[in-house]
Amino acid sequence: MFTGIIQAVGHIAAIESGEQDIRLCIESGKLPLEGVSLGDSIATSGVCLTVTELTGEGYWADVSPESLSLTTLGTKAIGDSVNLETSLTLSTPLGGHLVSGHVDGVGHVDDIIEDARFWRVRIAAPETLARYVAMKGSICVDGTSLTVNQVEGCHFELTIIPQTWEETVFSEYRVGSPVNLEVDVIARYLERLMQFEASTEAT
């Protein structure tokens, strides 16, 4: 589990392609790796990846076909930036919201508007995910925990404060940029409970 509070921006240092999967080497920048061991999880632009090798300047991780099909990691090139967060511990302040690192799908930046010292970022979500996005609810965008300010159909708007803009990959977004989306886990469990109750009543 993670909190959605980004600790560092890293960069893709190397990519090794398999038949249907890839390996990524991430330069982790200022991410604290002192307590990270092989097998630990690091959220990489919102995708929970397992550390398979530590390099001294970062780590290697495998990306499965499932992750490639649901995230932006398969489109990354050497030098591209990624948001990084180490996994939640019992002593970690929960500054964002509970994030699993299991990305639900890819959205796209629809508009970016500078508003005083802030930025309003409008994102188009896939139709299959739009129903989980609620005004003033939580959503995770490329691993960043954010509050939804407006919802209109499959589009939602976020207000990005200067700290988040400067310390995450948000400052690199352009109209059309793909982003990893993870909806609030509570919404998914609530839908499943309602589906189960409906199927039980029907039998």
Best CA proximity match to 141, nearest among 177, 113, 115: 177
CATH of the domain at 17: 2.40.30.20
Query: Does residue 145 lie in a domain region?
Result: yes
Average pLDDT value for the chain: 93
Q: pLDDT tens across 137-158, in order? A: 999 999 999 999 999 999 999 9
Domains in the chain, number: 2
| Residue at a domain's end among 57, 86, 115 | 86
pLDDT at 96: 78
Distance of CA 181 to the CA centre of its chain: 6
Query: Does residue 160 lie in a domain region?
Result: yes
The three-state secondary structure class of 106 is strand
Q: How far apart are the first and last CA of the chain?
A: 36
| Residue at a domain's end among 86, 120, 148 | 86
Evaluate if residue 84 carries a pLDDT over 90: yes
Domain that holds residue 179: 105-190
What's the maximum distance between 2 C-alpha atoms anywhere in the chain?
A: 58
Q: pLDDT tens across 18-77, in order? A: 889 999 999 999 999 988 999 999 999 999 999 999 999 999 999 999 999 999 999 999
63 and 113 share one domain: no
60 and 127 share one domain: no
80 and 120 share one domain: no
Query: Does residue 100 lie in a domain region?
Result: no
**C-alpha span between 13 and 112 (Å, rounded):** 28
Give 1 or 151, the one with higher predicted confidence: 151
111 and 159 share one domain: yes
pTM: 0.91
Query: Does residue 1 lie in a domain region?
Result: no
**C-alpha span between 104 and 69 (Å, rounded):** 10
151 and 81 share one domain: no
